[in-house]
């Protein structure tokens, strides 16, 4: 029997009181957060069931599958395509390193697609095994809440099964949103983009977020003509403005056509492709139009209103610091709560949930210094505060150190693309508040810097760290000249 939750003054119940439930924990949604929470809860001794729709490796109609968005329809297949696309640039770079590429180099999309499908199918199997090895019962079907301790699972054949549970955890993630543009049914979302039968030769991407710049990079890297259309002056709203400008420059440098301050007004099917019109009067013909315009929490089929679970204005499930909803027996983790929509954050929330509820160790997820990466080519990676956030939050002056340089590899390859690194430091305490990098291997490097920030590293400690030479990463420990000092109380420039 599971250990009991000890937060909010709750007292342990007796084993007899719990035994009338089918499960200690019923989890709806087997993505990153749900799988983590159920496995860890089972490891603490809880009797756990999890429900999820079956996985279909090709169809984007069926959005289920153990592993969830990250493994089956997000981070993992996307990164495989980013790797695939990166070889295009690498082959160009190789020529000055002495590689004679005499025959025509061709890219076989179908081959990569098959490899990607094989890999995510393998991962789906691994995730199922992780659950069964932990003793978690997997129920294939769509779950909904029918009461504070009751769940109904509808199987694909329509059979409905009811279960009771002491705790219910909702981890159903989010789904792509589509703006209401005439002809929007002709556009695809990232779900379909990961399984296109043919590689698009001409792609139009709407949006300036993670998904938009990543797919623009993928298709451009594979040789397509790509038009990236976004509403702001620069892509990647919310990131450091200076780094956003670097990403925009790099995307353009790699041959992507940028259309800032632009949106789409209409899509029309023609014999030659989809005719796309913009509010600036431009028209493009495209094989594929991708809407990468954000994702919304997936709550609508969960019957939450019946159970009285409160949602916020975005439709996300409202939770407290322990991931508990307003109904004490119902909890939620991951993107469905719209806190910080990143896989490792959902894992953290799932871990904290299990520790709190079944591990006897109340645990709040810690959202400070969460690193992240945009897998554009080259990638952007950040941790901590952007310059704008630091200025906004600062009590003291802010010191900004930047370094823009030609990475060593480019000196021979001839690629005209600078790597940019940035540190934002509190002038009074010398604490490093934020770090960012745009250039090859940025996510690999920033992960290490994130550890330093989490430990409260000062700029002096970074400076006293010996570099690895020759490497790009060593620049983070040799940024000695101050780029600018911003006086406390200054207003950040309006974010673009």
Instruction: List residues near ligand NDP by CB under 6 A.
Output: 179, 206-212, 214, 230-232, 237, 263, 292-295, 341-342, 372-375
Among residues 33 and 208, whose Cβ is nearest to ligand NDP? Answer: 208
Point out the catalytic residue in the list 20, 167, 280, 469.
469
Residue of this chain nearest to ligand NDP (CB atom): 209
Q: Is 335 marked as binding a ligand? A: yes
Q: Is 183 marked as binding a ligand? A: no
DSSP string across 220-261: HHTT-EEEEE-SSSSSSTTS-HHHHHHHHHHHHHTTPEEETT
Among residues 192 and 430, whose Cβ is nearest to ligand NDP? Answer: 192
Q: What is the DSSP-derived secondary structure letter of residue 337?
A: G
Lay out the sheet containing 202-206: strands in order across.
257-259, 225-229, 202-206, 288-291
Question: Hey, what long-range contacts does 125-132 have (CB within 8 A, 24 or more apart)?
Answer: 127/30, 127/35, 127/66, 127/67, 127/71, 128/66, 130/35, 130/39, 131/30, 131/35, 131/38, 131/39, 131/50, 131/66
Q: Is 216 marked as binding a ligand? A: no
Q: Is 140 marked as binding a ligand? A: no
Least CB distance from residue 1 to ligand NDP, whole Å? 38
User: What is the distance in angstroms between the CA of the first residue and the CA of the last residue of the chain?
Assistant: 54
| Coil, strand or helix at 187 | coil
Among residues 218 and 373, whose Cβ is nearest to ligand NDP? Answer: 373
Q: CA 217 to CA 254: how far, in whole Å?
A: 8
Q: Is 143 marked as binding a ligand? A: yes
Least CB distance from residue 264 to ligand NDP, whole Å? 7
Q: Is 269 marked as binding a ligand? A: no
Query: Helix 32-43 vs helix 109-133: angle between axes, to the nearest 10 degrees?
Result: 20
Q: Is 173 marked as binding a ligand? A: no
Among residues 164 and 277, whose Cβ is nearest to ligand NDP? Answer: 277
Q: CA 235 to CA 63: how far, in whole Å?
A: 28
Residue 335 zone, left/alpha/beta (φ > 0; ψ -120 to 50; rest) = alpha
Among residues 52 and 214, whose Cβ is nearest to ligand NDP? Answer: 214
Least CB distance from residue 39 to ligand NDP, whole Å? 22
Among residues 123 and 212, whose Cβ is nearest to ligand NDP? Answer: 212
Q: Is 97 marked as binding a ligand? A: no
Least CB distance from residue 379 to ligand NDP, whole Å? 9
| Coil, strand or helix at 36 | helix
**Considering all CA atoms of the chain, what is the largest pairwise distance in Å, rounded to the nearest integer?**
76
167 is catalytic: no
Least CB distance from residue 231 to ligand NDP, whole Å? 4
Least CB distance from residue 263 to ligand NDP, whole Å? 5
CB 186 within 8 A of CB 290: no
CB 291 within 8 A of CB 176: yes
User: What are the residues facing 374 on neighbouring strands?
Assistant: 380
Q: What residues are designated binding site for FAD?
A: 79, 143, 335
Q: What residues are designated binding site?
A: 79, 143, 207-214, 294, 335
**What are the residue numbers of the active site?**
469
């Amino acid at each position: 029997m599971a250990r009991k939750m000890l937060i909010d003054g709750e007292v342990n119940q007796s084993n007899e009181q719990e035994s009338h439930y089918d499960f200690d924990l019923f989890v709806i949604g087997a993505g990153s957060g749900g799988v983590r929470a159920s496995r860890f809860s089972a490891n603490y001794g809880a009797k756990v069931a999890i429900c999820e729709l079956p996985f279909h490796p090709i169809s984007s109609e069926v959005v289920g599958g153990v592993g969830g968005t990250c493994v089956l329809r997000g981070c993992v297949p996307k990164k495989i395509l980013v790797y695939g696309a990166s070889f295009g640039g690498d082959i160009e770079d190789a020529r000055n390193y002495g590689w004679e590429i005499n025959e025509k180099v061709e890219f076989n999309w179908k081959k990569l697609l098959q490899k990607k499908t094989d890999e995510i199918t393998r991962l789906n199997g691994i995730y199922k095994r992780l659950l069964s090895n932990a003793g978690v019962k997997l129920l294939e079907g769509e779950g909904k809440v029918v009461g504070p301790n009751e769940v109904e699972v509808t199987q694909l054949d329509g059979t409905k099964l009811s279960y009771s549970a002491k705790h219910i955890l909702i981890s159903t993630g989010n789904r792509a949103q589509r703006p209401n543009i005439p002809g929007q049914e002709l556009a695809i979302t990232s779900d379909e983009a990961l399984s296109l039968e043919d590689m698009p030769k001409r792609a139009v991407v709407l949006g300036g977020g993670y998904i938009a710049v990543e797919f623009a990079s993928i298709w451009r890297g594979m040789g397509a003509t790509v038009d990236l259309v976004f509403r702001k002056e620069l892509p990647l709203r919310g990131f450091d403005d200076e780094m956003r400008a670097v990403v925009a420059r790099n995307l353009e440098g790699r041959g992507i056509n940028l259309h800032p301050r632009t949106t789409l007004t209409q899509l029309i099917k023609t014999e030659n492709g989809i005719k796309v019109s913009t509010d600036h009067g431009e028209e493009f013909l495209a094989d594929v139009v991708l809407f990468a315009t954000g994702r919304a929490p997936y709550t609508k089929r969960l019957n939450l209103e019946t159970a009285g679970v409160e949602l916020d204005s975005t439709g996300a499930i409202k939770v407290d610091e322990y991931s508990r909803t307003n109904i004490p027996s119902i909890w939620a983790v991951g993107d469905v709560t719209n806190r910080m929509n990143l896989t490792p954050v959902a894992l953290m929330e799932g871990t904290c949930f299990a520790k709190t509820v079944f591990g006897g160790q109340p645990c709040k997820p810690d959202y400070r210094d969460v690193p992240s990466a945009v897998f554009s080519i080259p990638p952007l990676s950040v941790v901590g505060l952007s310059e704008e956030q630091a200025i906004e939050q600062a009590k003291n002056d802010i010191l900004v150190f930047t370094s823009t340089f030609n990475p060593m590899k480019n000196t021979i390859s001839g690629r005209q693309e600078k790597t940019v690194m940035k540190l934002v430091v509190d002038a009074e305490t010398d604490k490093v508040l934020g770090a960012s990098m745009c250039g090859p291997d940025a996510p690999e490097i920033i992960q290490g810097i994130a550890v330093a920030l989490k430990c409260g590293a000062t700029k002096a400690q970074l400076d006293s760290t010996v570099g690895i030479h020759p490497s790009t990463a060593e620049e983070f420990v040799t940024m000695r000249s101050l780029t600018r000092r911003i006086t406390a109380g200054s207003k950040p420039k309006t974010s673009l």
